[in-house]
């Protein structure tokens, strides 16, 4: 990763402007309808790929752009800042969680067959870890991949899977040896056109409505040993090694979303009047805004520090956990305070702040709850 060249401020702004124009043209006119329908069209993924906004830090030999990870962070941050939390969540899963597993763990055949299609949007990626009885405790998963001749038969169920309705490829966590606990876990790349694979319902969430979040079912899904990702029995270790990027990108999204909520709140208090003057003239309003801006900037500084550490290959799991913990908790506070400044209008779904409020809540849950983040951080400080 360290060989990737960091972007200049001018390059960042040019890319930010290009992405902003894409969002205004392709997302803003339709997003409210997609939220009501609780799903956006599959073609959105193709448009994201065609315009160069997917998997940007993948190597050019696999169809990518050889960009630094910071450019991928900029995409997630800007989409979240614009108020499209569902889109930011889904894109970050695709570009910053699924495809790095394949790049870092995959065989040359897996990389050549999958990554270019994820860059273009032809393939949508999902990661299958969570099960009805196994969330943060991945060792409790029940999905199995039992050897059958030269192949494996996969049986089990996953839930809360982002991109579950649109996905074409899944990085799937299984137990190849259920008796071995963590040492019996193996990852597979599973194509969604295989016999025995079925999508369940698109789950109804309190936020991130247009992001498809689904149950997935596997009944005697036959996969070749060539689809093993990162070695048999190495799944738990591989998951732990890749989780820092996931948690860092969640922190990036939280900072972007908080910045966007603050921006629309400032616009609102400058225009909205009470007792004959704008809300922005009241000391309480001004102080709350100042506190929120300070919190956001503190988290931005931490986020930018850890992005550079990731680019240099030095980010630790506890550092990623600190970023995710601090930023997601901050996002929740900012969402609540911004909605309060909107008053009754903040409770109306037609206002973006209402969407930002409900979208924020899951940030403290997925990718590892705040409680799990605290446990991981404390282990580095004082041991288990």
Active site positions, annotated: 246
Contact 322, 274 (CB under 8 A): no
Collapsing DSSP to helix, strand or coil, 169 comes out as: strand
Question: For 68, phi and psi rounded to 5 degrees?
Answer: -75, 155
Contact 166, 228 (CB under 8 A): no
How far is it, in rounded angstroms, from Cα 260 to Cα 290?
A: 15
How far is it, in rounded angstroms, from Cα 273 to Cα 265?
A: 13
Contact 121, 48 (CB under 8 A): yes
Residues with Cβ within 8 Å of residue 14, at least 6 apart in sequence: none
How far is it, in rounded angstroms, from Cα 48 to Cα 159?
A: 26
Contact 1, 62 (CB under 8 A): no
Contact 265, 289 (CB under 8 A): yes
Q: Where are the beta strands (DSSP E) in the chain?
A: 125-128, 144-148, 151-162, 169-175, 185-191, 197-202, 213-224, 228-229, 273-274, 277-278
């Amino acid at each position: 990763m360290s060989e990737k060249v960091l972007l200049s401020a001018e390059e960042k702004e040019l890319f930010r402007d290009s992405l902003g124009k894409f969002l205004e043209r392709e997302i803003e006119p339709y997003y409210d309808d997609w939220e009501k329908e609780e799903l956006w069209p599959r073609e959105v993924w193709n448009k994201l790929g065609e315009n160069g906004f997917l998997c940007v830090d993948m190597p050019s030999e696999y169809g990518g752009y050889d960009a630094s990870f910071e450019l991928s962070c900029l995409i997630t941050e800007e989409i979240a800042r614009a108020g499209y939390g569902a889109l930011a969540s889904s894109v970050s899963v695709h570009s910053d969680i699924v495809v790095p597993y394949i790049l870092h763990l995959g065989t040359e055949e897996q990389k050549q067959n999958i990554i270019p299609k994820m860059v273009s949007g032809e393939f949508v990626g999902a990661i299958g870890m969570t099960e009805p009885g196994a969330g943060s405790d991945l060792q409790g998963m029940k999905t199995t991949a039992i050897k059958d001749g030269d192949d494996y038969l996969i049986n089990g169920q996953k839930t809360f899977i982002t991109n579950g309705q649109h996905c074409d490829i899944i990085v799937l966590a299984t137990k190849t040896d259920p008796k071995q606990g963590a040492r019996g876990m193996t990852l597979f790349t599973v194509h969604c056109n295989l016999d025995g694979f079925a999508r369940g319902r698109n789950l109804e969430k309190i936020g991130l409505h247009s992001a498809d979040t689904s149950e997935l079912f596997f009944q005697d899904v036959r996969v070749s040993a060539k689809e093993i990702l990162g070695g048999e029995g190495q799944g738990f270790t591989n998951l732990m090694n890749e989780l820092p990027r996931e948690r860092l990108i969640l922190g990036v999204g939280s900072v972007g979303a908080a910045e966007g909520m603050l921006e629309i709140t400032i616009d609102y208090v400058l225009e909205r009047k009470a007792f004959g003057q704008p809300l922005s003239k009241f000391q309480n309003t001004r102080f709350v805004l100042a506190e929120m801006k300070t919190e956001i900037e503190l988290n931005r500084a931490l986020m930018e520090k850890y992005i550079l550490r990731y680019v240099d290959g030095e980010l630790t799991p506890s550092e990623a956990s600190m970023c995710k913990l601090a930023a997601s908790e901050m996002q929740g506070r900012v969402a609540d305070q911004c909605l309060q400044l909107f008053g009754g209008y903040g409770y109306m779904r037609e206002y973006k702040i209402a969407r930002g409020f409900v979208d924020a809540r899951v940030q403290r849950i997925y990718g590892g709850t705040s409680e799990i983040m605290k446990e991981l951080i404390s282990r580095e400080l004082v041991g288990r």
